[in-house]
Chains A and B, each alone.
Chain A
Amino acid sequence: MAEEKHHITSYKTYLLVLVALIIFTLLSVTITQIELSRWATVAALLIAGIKSTFVLLVFMHLKFDLRIFRVMVGLIISLLVVVIFITMLDFLFR
């Protein structure tokens, strides 16, 4: 394990991501001021999705890791998407 090359991310990248995360957090707060009715949830989820993508790719190093890990995370996220989709079959058709 020790011999493997590890990608080293610069502090600058981390800092940029942090700033982006803060901006998106502020955005998700401000967006509640706008009346979006049922799209409010969609907007909130979208912002949260972008934020977690950043965290996964950079902070959790998925971007620099083996492809297989990206595939597995992708599969798990698609499981989540299907579960949310099925839940929406209830919520949206009630």
Chain B
Amino acid sequence: MSENKQHDAQKSYLEETGGRKGIFKWILSTDHKRIGLLYLYSIMSWFFIGVTLGVLMKLELIAPGITIMGAQSYNATFTVHGVIMIFLIVIPGLPAVFGNFMLPIQIGAKDVAFPKLNLLSWYIYIAGSILVVSSLFAGGGPPDTGWTFYAPYSFKTGTNMLPAVLGAFVLGFSSILTGLNFLVTIHRLRAPGMTWLKMPVFPWTLYGTAWIQLLATPIVGITLLMVIGERIFNIGFFDPAKGGDPILYQHLFWIYSHPAVYIMILPAMGAISEIIPTFARKTIFGYRAIIVSTLAIAFVGYFVWGHHMFTSGMSGTALFTFSILTFIVAIPSAIKVFNWVSTMHQGSISADVPFLWAASFIFVFMIGGLTGLILGALAVNVHVHDTAFVVGHFHFIVFGGTGFAFFGALHYWFPKIYGRMYDRAWAKTGWIIFFIGFITLYGPMFYLGIRGMPRRYFDYLPDYHGPNIISSLGALVMVTGFVIIVINLFKSARSGEKAEMNPWGGTNLEWRIPSPPPLENFDEIPTIDKATYKYD
């Protein structure tokens, strides 16, 4: 900003309030770091609701028959759980929290390109979130269509579809604006000397993500509007009786929602690519291959949506095309896994907390990815479609992938964000309990799915009882781990030991400025003269 601010440049962004008090120093600040934290706190709050709904489902499934709720409540529970988790948490997740906080710092900028637009995106996010969550409480009961809002049921059901669908629609704008902001930031605000091929991997993955946010989100926006149109005006886009086509809905929905999986997973991969070189004390293996695979995932990811519709009655030609494209899109993900493992090879590994998250990320992500290929195979898909197998698969990808990377990134950048270090022993305890709980919770779903237990049922045959008990107990273990992690971080943010500038020995720009960073990150915009992740 202005010259007279120079003298107190060492004040951290947390002390720099811009003359505002209390909550206003947060909700009126256009500082990308504060906005990142606003997202962190709001996402975490919704996450508690999402987790609670998830636990309720696992409690229901702990025994056959009605345990704590009946069919209608169960349908509503998994719908709202899905909508909250997907649209409110994992889609904004890493880009909105760590992208906002770290992107400008990692590319050597003082802020994002449009700070006010950035704050507006958060307000839009909050507006959309409130709409979605209000569907839980308002009028006709919570929505019961599943998070996919499949037609024709989504315009026939009497439940609160409008707030949920409208909320998802509004959230899309937040996503688009954040993507646009990041694109311009990366194009225009890189520090002198930071050429494209000197940029760290996390900004690169945000770049790929931003294109998806910008180009795919409008499609779901239109689709949700069409659902609203169907409900209010009975237009008939998806109604065969009026010449419409219900499968068209599925196409439109998945044209967005498959790329959305890459909105979730690409920045997660970026965070993992930051953590692993730092804790292996080694330059990342195959930097260019990682960049190319990132862009390849973003690009090919547009054309595989039909693998969600293998049993919907698509033409044989389409089935074949989507299956083969799905197998192709697995290749760049595998390249990344290969690169991470090769980075660790002959490195000097310190198994500190962020590394544990990153290593377990690779483990669960591999399981999620490979079971995805099972689902991508046409013949097998018919057998496991809409079974617990699918639920296991996407929780390994979305929670195991994005979730683990989120916690990894949180533990990695925590000392930078708050200038304090957390209790590492507690963090490791939380991690191992969480990890064991996670595997116990979602592992049995693969078995149940192959044995034929359908997803989205509140009840099941007695044959499926054993694995369901294990799964439900796993949920309780995982929640215990989660509570330990959150309490540890929460306490440490207030009263943890002071953290140094570079506690992990990282090489990128964020580790060359004070913890927590000053308001405008850099006293002087740095000039970059060497490649990223270089250890001497």
Q: Interface size for chain B: under 10, 10 to 19, 20 to 34, or 35 or more residues?
A: 10 to 19
The residues in A between 65 and 94 inclusive whose CB is less than 8 angstroms from any CB of B are: 76, 79, 82-83, 86-87, 89-94
CA distance A92 to B316 in the complex (A): 11
Complex: how many Å from CA A94 to CA B315? 4
- CB–CB A83/B255 < 8 A: yes
Residue pair A83, B315 in contact (C-beta under 8 Å):
no
- A26 vs chain B, min Cβ distance (A): 21
B residues 42-93 near A (Cβ < 8 Å) are none
Write the B244-265 contact mask toward A (1 if CB under 8 angstroms, else 0).
0101000100010000000000
Q: How far apart are the CA atoms of A33 and B322 in the complex, in Å?
A: 37
Total A-B residue pairs with C-beta atoms closer than 8 Å? 36
Option from B247, B313, B316, B318 in Cβ contact (under 8 Å) with A86: B318
Question: Nearest CB to that of B315 among chain A residues?
Answer: A93
- Shortest CB-to-CB span from B344 to chain A, Å, is 36
Interchain CB contact (< 8 A) of B314 among A76, A79, A94: A94
Given contacts A83-B302, A83-B303, A90 and B215 within 8 Å (CB-CB) = no
Contacting pair A90 B302 (CB below 8 A) = no
B317 near A: Cβ within 8 Å? yes
Residues of B within 8 A of A87 (CB): 251, 255
Task: Bin chain A's interface residue count.
Answer: 10 to 19
Set of chain A residues within 8 Å of B321, measured between Cβ atoms: 86, 89
Tell me the complex Cα distance, A91–B318, Å: 9
Nearest CB in chain A: distance from B321 CB, A: 6
State the Cβ distance, A42 to closest chain B Cβ, in Å.
16
Q: How far apart are the CA atoms of A76 and B314 in the complex, in Å? A: 26
Interface flags for B197-234 (1: CB within 8 Å of A; 0: not) read: 00000000000000000010000000000000000000
Q: A residues within 8 A CB of B316?
A: 93
In the complex formed, the residue of B with least CB distance to A76 is B215
- The interface residues of chain B lying within 8 Å CB-to-CB of A82 are 302-303
Inside 8 A of B306's CB, which chain A residues have their CB?
86, 90
Taken residue by residue from 348 to 366, chain B's Cβ proximity to chain A (1 for < 8 Å, 0 otherwise) reads as 0000000000000000000
Q: Separation in Å of the B518 CB from the closest CB of chain A?
A: 28
Neighbouring B residues of A92 by C-beta, 8 Å: 315
B315 cross-chain contacts in A, Cβ below 8 A:
89-94
A sample of 17 cross-chain residue pairs with beta-carbon separation below 8 angstroms, ordered by A number, consists of A79-B215, A79-B302, A82-B302, A83-B255, A86-B322, A87-B251, A89-B315, A89-B317, A89-B321, A90-B314, A90-B315, A90-B318, A93-B315, A93-B316, A93-B317, A94-B314, A94-B315
- Taking Cβ atoms with an 8 Å cutoff, the residues of A that contact B are 76, 79, 82-83, 86-87, 89-94
Other A-B contacts than A83-B255, A87-B255, 10 sampled, CB-CB below 8 A, are A86-B318, A90-B247, A90-B306, A90-B315, A90-B318, A91-B245, A91-B315, A93-B318, A94-B313, A94-B314
For the complex of A and B, 7 pairs with smallest distance between CB atoms = A93-B315, A90-B318, A93-B317, A94-B315, A90-B314, A89-B318, A89-B317
